[in-house]
A and B are shown apart, each in its own frame.
Chain A
Amino acid sequence: MMSKKPFLQRILDQKWLLLFILPAFAYFLIFSYLPMYGILIAFKNYTPGVSSNAFIDILNAPWVGFKYFTRFFSSYYFGQILSNTIVLSLMGLVIGFPLPIILALTINEAKDGFFKKFTQTVTYAPYFISVVVVCGMLIAFLNPTTGILTHFLEFFGIKNISFMTDPRYFKIIYVLSDVWQGTGWGSVIYLAALSGVDTQLHEAAIIDGASRWQRVIYINFPILIPTMVILLIMSVGNLMAMGYEKIILLQNPLNLDSSNVIATFVYKTGLLDAQYSYAAAVGLFNSVINCVLLLSVNKIARKVSDISLL
């Protein structure tokens, strides 16, 4: 037990440690907590530039209550935006979540050596490619006249698919390119968990006549479950906050029916059309749903498996 020194003495003793957290403290205070004050504008009629001080502008703006929320919920595009957001996220989760696990289990079964190392290095690499370049690749590969995929499909007699401008293809393009970019990197954390498997378990299983397949299913896979649960909680908590940076790049007026999601709507209404209060209200709606999702999945996971984030 720490001896109870006077408070001031303890501050002096730990002055360096306190100084160490000072930059981070200032950063989070200004850039994470101060914007929370700005959430107020979702309930106000905020116009920028009334005075020279945005804080005073926010304070003085007239209250409008839930006006902007009702406007959003009763708008004709609300249903479409919400369903696009949910469908895109769920597709990403259902297709994107299991693949890193399968890849990690498979890599783990390969013999140590050049091929294994090479496969790991190559499959991790796309994670380091920027979203602009990935979207540039997609646009180039899927070009309806010059794209390489178009040429491949022509070989099979399929012609003239306008991938980028047909709303039907947008979601699968988005999800599959995410898979291409993220599966390898996603497997790293599972491989780390697999490296902690007790070799005695495998030795005992071999003596009992278990096949390699059985050892993967009954020894390696269960080891990954805690990691899976944690990552699942985190991805469900981010369900409504998917990669809008990529969607904005792939979005065009023709595929909008399928690509318009809450995050891109906030960006467009708020920053391009300068309807700050309206966009802030929609953004707040989004983060409230995220927060509720995160807390409920965390609770379910704790009940079912005793594993939780918090």
Chain B
Amino acid sequence: MSNKNQASTRDKLFSLIVYTLLGLALIIVLYPLIYIISASISSPTSVGSGKMWLWPVDITFSGYQVIFKNADIWNGYKNTIFYTVLGTSINLFVTLPCAYALSRRNFMAKKWFMKMLVITMFISGGLIPTFILIKALGMYNTVWALVIPNAASVYNIVVTRTFFQSTIPDELEESAAVDGASDLRIFWQIVLPLSMPIVAVMALFYGVGQWNGYFNAMIYLSDRSLYPLQLILREILVVQDMSSNTTNFSTTSAEMLQQKQQLVDVIKYGVMIVSTLPVIMVYPFLQRFFVKGVMIGSIKG
């Protein structure tokens, strides 16, 4: 009996440690997020002085008012939505059919094409040759520089292929082929409707990548009107030097700089929220899909 008691105390202690660790992880991840939300609707002075440390203090929406009136942020938002929709569509158009073809056992080009893909994981031209290529192709400072150079990733193609292999039974394709359906019809009318989880996962992976990326835009775009949201955010949050057309000031005297800094203080937490909100809103709904996607990818990656 005492042995059993001992065991149950031991397991209780174990549970205590488990929930303490999880609670700790939760606080570490959640605190900065709550802080940003609270800071975005608190007065900049109470944020800067440290008076606001968890819940909003001196609630004001002036930051959001400035953000919603800012032409740069709106234009960046519009551009980002456009790049994300276009880019993700291209990503899916390249990835899904290719992964399906590679999942077919008797596909003649399967072996050498997989080799061609795997080699790119080991050898790449690198940043400079790629940059020269984009310029040579005339894509510099165009929309295409943001949606074409990362049109597909080998990892995503392999994960999608594994999904098709493990969820679509060969018999289904064989019987459809016997009925005279072409591969296009099999893919479009039978395989894709059965594969919505992986389509959702890929749309999310690629979409988030497009939404959050800044580097390609930074090196390939020179025209401000083409800037995606992340580049505008970079100016506000990192470079902290808002251009004159953001603030309607054209001089850069010390006083003006100070005013700019104050403006940045007012809006910086708000822009973090505004830019992240769409992704964070979509993701919990797709969570069960992408856990599934990662799981399938891990079976035989």
| A residues with CB within 8 A of B | 2, 10-11, 14, 16-21, 23-25, 27-28, 30-39, 41, 48, 53-55, 58, 102-103, 106-107, 109-110, 115-116, 118-126, 128-133, 135-137, 139-141, 145-146, 148, 150-151, 154, 180, 183-184, 188-189, 191-193, 195, 209, 211-213, 227, 230, 245, 248-249, 263, 266-267, 270-271, 276, 279-280, 283-284, 286-287, 291, 294-295
Contacts and interface: CB of A to CB of B under 8 A. Distances in A.
B122 A24 contact: no
B233 A39 contact: no
A-B pairs, top 7 by smallest CB distance, nearest first, are A35-B125, A38-B129, A136-B237, A151-B50, A130-B212, A16-B183, A20-B97
Interface stretch (B13-21, B67-75, B192-200, B249-257): B13-21
B41 interface: no
Interface residues of B, number: 96
B184 to A, nearest CB: 5
Interface in B207-254: 208, 211-215, 219, 230, 233-234, 236-238, 240
B128 interface: yes
B1 interface: no
B128 A283 contact: yes
Contacts, number: 274
Given A121-B284, A287-B123, A280 B136 contact: no
Which of A18, A54, A110, A132 gathers the greatest number of chain B CB atoms within 10 Å?
A132
A62 B269 CA distance: 52
A115 B230 CA distance: 33
Given A31-B133, A39-B129, A123-B25, 20 more contacts: A14-B107, A20-B98, A23-B151, A38-B125, A48-B132, A58-B132, A119-B26, A121-B284, A129-B276, A130-B276, A133-B272, A133-B275, A137-B32, A141-B35, A189-B295, A189-B297, A192-B298, A193-B298, A267-B127, A287-B124
Contact of B183 (A14, A109, A195): A14
B55 interface: no
Contact of A18 (B28, B109, B215, B301): B109
A172 B191 CA distance: 47
Nearest to B273: A133
B123 A133 contact: no
B266 interface: no
Contact of A271 (B127, B136, B152, B298): B127
Contacts of B100: 20
Q: Which of B11, B101, B280, B287 has the most CB of A within 10 A?
A: B101
B32 A110 contact: no
22 contacts: A14-B108, A14-B183, A21-B109, A24-B94, A28-B152, A38-B132, A38-B133, A110-B19, A116-B22, A120-B287, A121-B284, A121-B287, A124-B283, A129-B212, A136-B268, A148-B53, A151-B49, A180-B32, A193-B298, A266-B127, A270-B131, A280-B128
Contacts of B10: 211-213
Contacts of A195: 295
B183 A133 contact: no
Interface of B: 7, 10-11, 14-15, 18-19, 21-22, 25-26, 28-30, 32-33, 35-36, 47-50, 53, 93-95, 97-98, 100-102, 104, 106-109, 113, 116-117, 120, 122-133, 135-137, 148-149, 151-152, 157, 182-184, 187, 208, 211-215, 219, 230, 233-234, 236-238, 240, 265, 268-269, 272, 275-276, 279-280, 283-284, 287, 290-291, 294-295, 297-298, 301
A300 to B, nearest CB: 17
A17 B101 contact: yes
Contact of B127 (A54, A120, A189, A270): A270
A270 B219 CA distance: 11
Given A123-B25, A188-B291, A21 B123 contact: no
A119 B124 contact: no
Contacts of A283: 126-128
Contacts of B109: 14, 17-18, 21
Q: Which of B10, B32, B116, B265 has the most CB of A within 10 A?
A: B32
A53 B294 CA distance: 43
B26 A123 contact: yes
Nearest to B235: A132
A204 to B, nearest CB: 16
A192 B290 CA distance: 11
B238 A140 contact: no
A39 B47 contact: no
A25 B114 CA distance: 10
Contacts of A110: 18-19, 22
A27 B98 CA distance: 11
B131 A271 contact: yes
Contact of B18 (A37, A109, A150): A109
Contact of B283 (A119, A125, A189): A125
Contact of A20 (B53, B187, B237, B297): B187
Contacts of B33: 125-126
B93 A36 contact: no
A131 B97 contact: no
A286 to B, nearest CB: 8
